[in-house]
């Protein structure tokens, strides 16, 4: 029997983004989709308490963490500090460093990030709408498909708080996890869209090269394959878990 799948969303989103995975995997396995602090109705907590808030939501037994974008970065950090709580990890559209840094070319430039911060303070709802559209770039979606994804994947009833958005953006600004990658020996699936307009695909190649037990799969997709290519994403995730996790979890 596979361990519990715990799904962690990205910046500005909510647990609702995993609705298709909850339906698919929930019929076969134990599943849990968590809301990050200040997202999806979850309470705000100080930035330094985000890891503990996330750990408090995990079952006692080791889980498979499925982290998307910022959620994947937080999964990486937990893998480095609390490996015993994890049986495996799936990193979707994830990067060890969202920002450009010395020796790291797969990040966001200073001027782009600063404009993003300014837009958040000026008009957060508009920025979130624009950011969601950017995440779906790279997939050939018509207007009806795009609207359908927005309707089912965005939690309009419980918008992210400004404190949650600011904390998440601060994490994207500050986190640099490159140094811990060689020490993470958990079975890891690195899934990334070739046409990702948010986190360059080069970040996925680096993750797979640096992590000793990582498997890389590049999809012809943008930043949100779990939304735009749901069936393929679900099948890839299930097959990888059956081949890499099930025997370890028994």
H helix runs in the chain, sequence order = 19-26, 50-55, 70-81, 110-122, 124-135, 143-153, 162-174, 201-210, 225-228, 230-244, 246-249
Q: Is residue 139 a contact partner of residue 223, using CB atoms and an 8 Å limit? A: no
Strands 86-92 and 31-34: unpaired
Smallest Cα–Cα separation from 64: which of 97, 93, 86? 86
Catalytic residue check, 196:
yes
Set 35, 196, 206, 226: catalytic member = 196
CA distance 214 to 247: 17
DSSP single-letter state for residue 210: H
Question: Which residues have CB under 8 Å from 121's CB, separation 6+?
Answer: none
Catalytic residue check, 69:
yes
Set 9, 39, 106, 223: catalytic member = 223
Catalytic residue check, 97:
no
Token couple for 47: 């930035």
Set 69, 97, 155, 206: catalytic member = 69
DSSP string, 74-137: HHHHHHHH-GGGEEEEEEES--S-SB-BTTB-SSB-HHHHHHHHHHHHH-HHHHHHHHHHHHTT
What residues are labeled active site? 69, 196, 223
């Amino acid at each position: 029997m596979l361990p519990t799948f715990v799904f962690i969303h990205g910046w500005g989103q909510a647990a609702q983004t995993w609705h298709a995975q909850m339906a698919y995997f929930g019929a076969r396995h134990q599943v849990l989709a968590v809301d990050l602090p200040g997202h999806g109705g979850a309470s705000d907590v100080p930035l330094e308490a985000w890891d503990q808030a996330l750990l408090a939501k995990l079952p006692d037994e080791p889980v498979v963490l499925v982290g998307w974008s910022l959620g994947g970065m937080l999964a990486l950090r937990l893998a480095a500090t609390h490996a015993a709580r994890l049986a495996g990890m799936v990193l979707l559209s994830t990067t060890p460093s969202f920002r450009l840094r010395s020796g790291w070319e797969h990040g966001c430039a200073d001027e782009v990030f600063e404009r993003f911060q300014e837009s958040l303070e000026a008009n957060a709802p508009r920025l979130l709408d624009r950011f969601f559209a950017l995440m779906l770039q790279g997939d050939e979606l018509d207007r009806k498909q795009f609207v359908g994804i927005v309707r089912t994947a965005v939690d309009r009833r419980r918008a992210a708080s400004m404190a949650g958005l600011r904390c998440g953006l601060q994490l994207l600004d500050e986190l640099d996890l490159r140094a811990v990658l060689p020490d993470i020996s958990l079975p890891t699936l690195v899934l990334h869209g070739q046409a990702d307009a948010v986190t360059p695909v080069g970040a996925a190649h680096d993750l797979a090269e640096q992590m000793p037990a990582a498997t890389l799969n590049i999809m012809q997709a943008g930043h949100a394959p779990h939304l735009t290519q749901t069936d393929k994403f679900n099948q890839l995730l299930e097959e990888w878990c059956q081949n890499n996790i099930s025997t370890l979890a028994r």
